[in-house]
A = this chain, B = another copy of it.
Amino acid sequence: MKSKLLVLILLGVVALPGQLWAQAPLVFQSDFGLKDGAVAAMKGVAFSISPDLKMYDLTHEIPAFNIWEGAYRLKETAPYWPAGTVFVAVIDPGVGTERKSIVLKTKTGQYFVTPDNGTLTLVAEDLGVAEIRKIDEAKYRRPGSEKSYTFQGRDLYAYVGAYLASGKIPYEEVGPQLDAEEMVVIPYQKPSFDGKAVFGTIPVLDIQFGNAWTNIDEATFKKLGVKKGDLLSVQIKNGEDVVFEENMLFVNTFGDVAEGEMLAYLNSLLNLSFAINLDNFAETYGIASGPDWHVRVQKAAP
């Protein structure tokens, strides 16, 4: 009996402080770039809270202050991380204004720590809002950071994110609950079908390859009754200006058309997208992204 007890105690000592105590991944996103020490300062703060944290980067190359692109990159990536993952997303043009700091828990069980400025518009929509809490900044803030007002990624968001991911505090502890309607969201044109054509925007580019990704999802697109190999008529406008208007084949993937040919396809998020096989569509036609970039797609006249 005595030796059994000893075993259990010893095992407890061994198991509890170490890696065996499962920790949730902590994933960082920002517009800080990788040229200075800002990202490493955030990770140092998190490491100091729990050396066993598993930290990852989503991207730190969001264009400066571009909340919309940050929102999209979260939406693009979050579904591939398990429940419990804590995302710290810091695109914070409003640092020092009255904006709140929040933690969203989605219906899929992921957490998003961020300034309340629209960054969570798309994950809230796609993954569902389970609960939103306002961070109690008086309580959860890096000790010694009281005089620092400009780097809340390090002093607040990484700090809170590390406490959550390490399990040192439960979600309910970060601060009082907020109504879902209080969270800031960025308005944008939803995909639609008018009986003849589908409409949407280009929220973001597949930037490394120059493909244009629309927000026209598979279900909306299917209303056109198009099948693989059909010819589409595609119009792209920047505000009122028609920037692009041509026909292209709807296919599965790049290799389905010859090198240098245009294609329409469902991208890795199953949204309608446009590309040139082995070339850069966006650069070739001067196409960018954002809420002002509108797309109309219909079957090409035979």
Binding site for B on A (CB under 8 A): 3-4, 6-8, 10-11, 14-15, 17-20, 22, 25, 27, 31-45, 47-48, 51-52, 54-61, 64-65, 73-74, 76-77, 80-82, 85, 93-97, 147-151, 154-155, 204, 206-209, 218, 251-256, 265-268, 270, 278, 280
| Given the contacts A20-B17, A25-B47, A36-B73, A147 and B270 also touching, CB distance less than 8 Å | yes
Q: Which of B44, B150, B206, B280 is in CB contact (< 8 Å) with A253?
A: B150
19 contacts between A and B (CB under 8 A): A11-B11, A14-B20, A18-B19, A33-B207, A36-B207, A36-B208, A44-B80, A44-B81, A47-B54, A47-B81, A48-B81, A48-B82, A51-B54, A96-B253, A96-B255, A96-B256, A150-B267, A151-B267, A155-B268
Closest to A49 in B: B82
B77 touches A255 (CB 8 A): no
Enumerate chain B residues within 8 angstroms of A43, measured Cβ to Cβ.
56
Q: Which of B35, B57, B97 is in CB contact (< 8 Å) with A207?
A: B35
User: Closest CB of chain B to A271's CB: distance in Å?
Assistant: 11
Enumerate chain B residues within 8 angstroms of A37, measured Cβ to Cβ.
58-59, 73-74, 76-77
Considering residues A19, A43, A278, which has the most beta carbons from chain B within 10 angstroms of its beta carbon? A43
B17 touches A151 (CB 8 A): no
Enumerate chain B residues within 8 angstroms of A93, measured Cβ to Cβ.
254, 278
User: Closest CB of chain B to A261's CB: distance in Å?
Assistant: 13
In the assembled complex, the Cα of A255 lies from the Cα of B208 at a distance in Å of 33
User: Closest CB of chain B to A8's CB: distance in Å?
Assistant: 7
Enumerate chain B residues within 8 angstroms of A51, measured Cβ to Cβ.
22, 25, 54, 82
Enumerate chain B residues within 8 angstroms of A40, measured Cβ to Cβ.
27, 56-59, 77, 80-81
Enumerate chain B residues within 8 angstroms of A265, measured Cβ to Cβ.
149-150
Enumerate chain B residues within 8 angstroms of A27, measured Cβ to Cβ.
40, 44
